[in-house]
Amino acid sequence: MSHVTLQLPETLHHQLASHAQREGVSLQQYILYALTRQLAHTYTVHVISEEGVAQQQAQFAALLEELGSAPPAALTAALAAREPSAPEPELTPDVVTQLHAHLA
C-alpha cells in the first residue's frame, strides 16, 4: 500500500473528521471512502432522460443554425490560413499509435 502525506486546510480537516465520526470510522477510512466514491462516479454511466436528449439535440441544432454553413472552398481557405503549430514533444508517433489502438 502506498502512503501520501496531505496538508489540509483546517476547515476541511474538521469537516472530514466530523463526517468520519458520524459514520463511525477513522479519518483515514473516511478519506479513502470519499476518494473511491469520487473515482467511481467519474466512471459511471449516467442515464439521460428522453427529455434531456431532446433538449441537447435542440441546443445542438440551434448552435448549428447560429453558426451557419460555409461552402467547401471557404472551409479549405480557412484551414489553409491557420497558423501552424508544432506538436507537443511527448506526442511521438508511438504515442499516437497507442492512442489510436486504445480508441479502437
pTM equals 0.44
Mean pLDDT in residue range 89-99: 86
The type of residue at 89 is P
Q: Tens of pLDDT along 8-59?
A: 999 999 999 999 999 999 999 999 999 999 988 888 787 889 999 999 999 9
Share above pLDDT 70 across residues of the chain, in percent, rounded to a whole number: 100
- Return the higher-pLDDT residue of 49 and 91: 49
Answer whether residue 80 shows pLDDT above 90.
Answer: no
